[in-house]
Structure 1
């Protein structure tokens, strides 16, 4: 695996599936990505069971491993930065296996991991059939349909969600350092 680094950053001020690649993004502690529609101290859900509720925003920043793009490419799908709605595209970090509470230093700014992104039907609307690349059953069999948050026997590959602990600017090329929380470690659950 290569040295952990930021590959690309994205944001969008409107609710759309994909985000717009940017030269840099500014993270604000306790708030998220400045100028991004999902920033704020309360949840910004458009769909699902939490829509309309005032809950703490545990989804301020979406991180995604660029290695998923290689997997998608081998299945016939071409993806680029921001396509899957991520704010930070990473390389060299296996985000999915990190425990809840892990601190990810993005070259100065620091985020704390809060959960897994749960893939939704919009993925297949974006690229028909892509769901089978980003979601599989625990035995590795691809799944072509979204699954309830409560279903733990699936592997979700569309990144992790985080809150901003220390703000600052993030740009491509910045190094990434990971600090695990004190144990016992809890696996990331879907948000």
Structure 2
């Protein structure tokens, strides 16, 4: 009844969202049973097991060769107003359909986040203190646990495959912005 993720032995660091496509009845052989399960996926994409906030090391056991990663290990946490985010996936990441969480921690007034690569712009007309966090998760926006969606421009941030150039304005003092997502690939 519910979807879940499967990992194949052939690509152990990629996972597919699947659901059981047919019922099954085990053939009983003594105290054991034999049965076959058939799964289907509504998605044309598989995704990385790891997220961008996991360590990019072999010890993390979340990455494999062939996932679009380069020798240059990208950073997904930044403390500057201009930065780059790398999408190692093969498809455009759209937060309406694929999880993307952006967290801004720090003081701000009329915060805006612009992906110069895609032209996407997200703005918040309010303020935040140095101890507050603003979270953009999919299409929702919160400051702490309170929705601020009505104080935004209702914009979305998408990520093209490869490098995406970002520009931040409205930050005051020290801050940190983090991008948390999985890479998506054609199955």
TM-score category (smaller protein)? under 0.3
Structure with bigger helix share is 1
What TM-score, normalized to structure 2? Answer: 0.25
Identify the structure with bigger relative contact order (alpha carbons < 8 Å, sequence gap 6+). 1
Higher strand share: 2
TM-score by length of 1: 0.24
